[in-house]
Amino acid sequence: MSGKETPGTGTVDTATKKVFVKTYGCQMNVYDSQRMTDALAADGYCATDVIEDADLVLLNTCHIREKAAEKVYSELGRIRQLKEERAKDGRETLIGVSGCVAQAEGREILRRAPAVDLVIGPQTYHRLPAVVKRARGGEKIVETEYAIEDKFAHLPHPEGRIVRSRGVTAFLTVQEGCDKFCTFCVVPYTRGAEVSRPVSQIVAEAERLAASGVREVTLLGQNVNAWHGEGVDGREWGLGELLFRLAEIPGIDRLRYTTSHPRDMDDALIAAHRDLDKLMPYLHLPVQAGSDRILKAMNRRHTAEEYLRLIERIRAARPDIAMSGDFIVGFPGETEEDFAETMRLVRAVGYAQAFSFKYSPRPGTPGADMADHVPEAVKGERLQRLQALLTEQQRDFARSLVGTEIDLLLEKPGREAGQLVGRSPWLQPVIVDDAAGRIGDIVKVRIARAGPNSLFADPVGEIGAPERAEATKGVYV
Ligand code: 5AD
Ligand code: SF4
């Protein structure tokens, strides 16, 4: 888009500028990276996958576990060399750090990595184009103050432009930040207080996504089920009501949301799982641990029994729902008996998918200052046992689907020629022959085989029937 006057910016670029964005961490970062790329596109930057070609390299970082900051510094060392190489050819390279490491480290990044030109925290992404412009003028910039203005309102897709289509599935942030203060977690510090996006903005963005060909939308938030806002009927809405509204948008055939906290699963949301076919039967509901003592120390504010009862209610509403969770082993004070409770809880729930981690102390969080840290070797050994059980459950779930018919949203070409990959309602990758349909179709397939990470399926019914695409659309619209 360079060489042209870009509406709204008033600048004329004579050469195409390229931005390379490397994303670490959660889906919120993936979403933010896309929005930042969109915002920069309006200033003449097009995205590139080739870092050597980039005039702007942006690392969108994650701070949730481990020595993430250290990894970022060593990556910055490599990028500095690249900057020096390019400088020999007279090409300028700006280096930016965004995301949670940017928020947590701030000016320290410029001190330790002087080649960096700009540091920008998640609260101020809407200022990115202005910040880049200043950085191009030679200024070093750190933008990590919490913005007073509404970040969401200021980072829309440019008015009047259809959002660039990135396929048939998309993320949509509806909520950001967290007030829960689990004692192991940095999110309340790096992402700030909980903020919900207004209904009108969310609906408008979902409509734009639908218009660009997106059929499946995943609502994002660090605590997505704490989302609330004033509904179109003037009443206070929760995520359940919002999902009902989004399900009315023609073209949006599948809805998902992540990540949820057990304390915020209200009746309306459970009812949405019961009544909305478009809401996929998959729920990521982290519990972290199975021992009440550890749950208390983690400040999760619920017991293991309450979590199990909640899942019973959700399953009563939507019997085919698949559960997913997050677990931390080796939180300070965790005994062998506490860990056994986690294993018991996992057996009681039966997870279709799960993510498990060794506890990693995050500076500034209460957990880091607690007594009785668990030795690394013990954490490692517990993690192995937990992961063995979770992997077995995941495999059993996948195998239980063999022989069944499912609706598959075809998303992209497979790794091998002649294949397409889609997602099952339970978020598993499913591989089919490309005769099954076109990307964007929702087709009926029969699961033939379960591999370790994906399912293999055969099309059901007449392949290539001309009415197929219309017929599948008609099911939902
Ligand atoms: N150590 C280990 N795992 C953590 N998580 C968050 N903070 C930590 C930490 N300090 C995990 C939790 C959370 C997921 C996103 O990351 O399980 O749900
Ligand atoms: Fe972190 Fe807990 Fe908030 Fe989740 S609910 S983001 S784990 S503080």
For residue range 226-267, list pLDDT tens digits in order: 999 999 889 999 999 999 999 999 999 999 999 999 999 999
Specify whether the backbone of 192 is left (phi greater than 0), alpha (psi in -120 to 50) or beta.
left
Whose CA is closest to 364, among 187, 194, 177?
187
**E strand intervals along 109-199:** 118-120, 141-143, 169-173, 175-176, 195-196
Q: What is the pLDDT of residues 153-164, one digit of tens each?
A: 655 443 333 344
- Ligand 1 centroid to residue 445 C-alpha, Å: 36
Q: What is the pLDDT of residues 123-165, one digit of tens each?
A: 889 899 999 999 999 999 999 887 655 666 655 443 333 344 4
Three-state SS at 150: coil
- Ligand 1 centroid to residue 328 C-alpha, Å: 6
- Residue 66 binned pLDDT confidence (cut-offs 50, 70, 90): confident
Question: Rounded to an integer, what distance in angstroms lies between the CA atom of residue 356 and that of residue 365?
Answer: 20
| Weakest-pLDDT range from 7-16, 75-84, 453-462 | 7-16
Question: Rounded to an integer, what distance in angstroms lies between the CA atom of residue 78 and that of residue 73?
Answer: 9
The residue behind tokens 């085919």 is 320
Q: What is the pLDDT of residues 90-122, one digit of tens each?
A: 999 999 999 999 998 999 999 999 999 999 999
**E strand intervals along 235-306:** 236-238, 254-258, 282-284
Residues 252, 206 contacting (CB under 8 angstroms) = yes
Within a 13 Å sphere around the CA of 218, how many CA atoms are in the beta-carbon half?
22
Q: What is the pLDDT of residues 303-361, one digit of tens each?
A: 999 999 999 999 999 999 999 999 999 999 999 999 999 999 999 999 999 999 999 99
In single-letter form, the type of residue at position 58 comes to L
Question: Rounded to an integer, what distance in angstroms lies between the CA atom of residue 205 and that of residue 211?
Answer: 10
Report the nearest-CA residue for atom 1 of ligand 2: 185
- Ligand 1 centroid to residue 364 C-alpha, Å: 15
Average pLDDT, the chain: 89
Give the bridge partners for 206, in sequence order.
Answer: none
Q: What local confidence, expressed as pLDDT, does residue 16 receive?
A: 84
Q: What local confidence, expressed as pLDDT, does residue 157 receive?
A: 47
Taking residues 38-63, report their average pLDDT.
93
**Distance, CA of 464 to chain centre:** 34
Q: What local confidence, expressed as pLDDT, does residue 15 receive?
A: 60
Higher pLDDT, 353 or 9: 353
Nearest ligand, CA 62: 1
Higher pLDDT, 215 or 67: 215
Does ligand 1 lie within 6 Å of residue 351's CB atom?
no
Does ligand 1 lie within 6 Å of residue 359's CB atom?
yes
Does ligand 1 lie within 6 Å of residue 64's CB atom?
yes
The residue behind tokens 């099952």 is 424
Q: What local confidence, expressed as pLDDT, does residue 152 receive?
A: 65
Question: Rounded to an integer, what distance in angstroms lies between the CA atom of residue 95 and that of residue 76?
Answer: 8
Is residue 170 predicted with pLDDT exceeding 70?
yes
| Weakest-pLDDT range from 30-44, 217-231, 277-291, 455-469 | 455-469
Residues 431, 455 contacting (CB under 8 angstroms) = yes
- Residue 462 binned pLDDT confidence (cut-offs 50, 70, 90): low
User: Which letter, b or e, does each residue of 247-285 get, where b requires 16 or more Cβ atoms within 10 Å of its Cβ?
Assistant: bebebbbbbbbbbbbbbbbbeebbbbbeebebbbbbbbb
- Ligand 2 centroid to residue 408 C-alpha, Å: 32
| Weakest-pLDDT range from 64-78, 79-93, 102-116, 462-476 | 462-476
Q: What local confidence, expressed as pLDDT, does residue 123 receive?
A: 86
In single-letter form, the type of residue at position 405 comes to E
Residues comprising the chain, all counted: 477
What percentage of residues in the chain have a pLDDT greater than 90? 80
The residue behind tokens 């930040």 is 177
Q: What local confidence, expressed as pLDDT, does residue 471 receive?
A: 32
- Residue 367 binned pLDDT confidence (cut-offs 50, 70, 90): very high
Q: What is the pLDDT of residues 175-212, one digit of tens each?
A: 999 999 999 999 999 889 999 999 999 999 999 999 99
Q: What local confidence, expressed as pLDDT, does residue 106 receive?
A: 93
111 contact partners, CB below 8 Å, separation of at least 6: none
Nearest ligand, CA 298: 2
Question: Rounded to an integer, what distance in angstroms lies between the CA atom of residue 50 and that of residue 66?
Answer: 27
Question: Rounded to an integer, what distance in angstroms lies between the CA atom of residue 432 and that of residue 448?
Answer: 10
User: Which letter, b or e, does each residue of 133-157 get, where b requires 16 or more Cβ atoms within 10 Å of its Cβ?
Assistant: ebbbeeeebbbbeebeeebbeebbb
Q: What local confidence, expressed as pLDDT, does residue 64 receive?
A: 87
* Helix H or strand E encompassing 250: none
Residues 252, 204 contacting (CB under 8 angstroms) = no
Is residue 465 predicted with pLDDT exceeding 60?
no
Q: What local confidence, expressed as pLDDT, does residue 185 receive?
A: 95
Three-state SS at 74: helix
